[in-house]
Amino acid sequence: MTKDFLFPIVTLSLICLIMTGALAAVNGITAPIIELAAAERIGPVKMAILPIPEGESFVPLSLDGLPSTIDAAYTTTDGAGYIFISSTRAYGPNPLTVICGITPERELIKSDVLSHSETVGLGTRIFTTADNDFRTGVDAVSGSTITFEAYRLLLNDSFTAFDMLRGSGQ
Each residue's pLDDT tens digit, 30-40: 888 877 777 77
pLDDT at residue 169 in the model: 62
pLDDT at residue 35 in the model: 74
Would you say the pTM of this structure is higher than 0.85?
no
pLDDT at residue 134 in the model: 57
Residues 6+ apart with CB under 8 A from 91: 118, 119, 123, 144, 146, 147, 150
pLDDT at residue 73 in the model: 94
Q: Please report, in tens digits, the pLDDT of each residue of the chain (170 residues total).
A: 677 788 888 899 999 999 999 999 888 888 888 777 777 778 888 888 888 888 888 999 999 999 999 999 999 999 899 999 999 887 777 788 899 999 999 999 988 888 776 666 655 556 655 555 555 555 555 555 777 788 889 999 999 999 999 876 66
DSSP assignment of 98-151: EEEEE-TTS-EEEEEEEE--PPTTTGGGGGGTHHHHHHHT----TT-HHHHHHH
Residues 6+ apart with CB under 8 A from 41: none
The residue count of the chain comes to 170
pLDDT at residue 151 in the model: 85
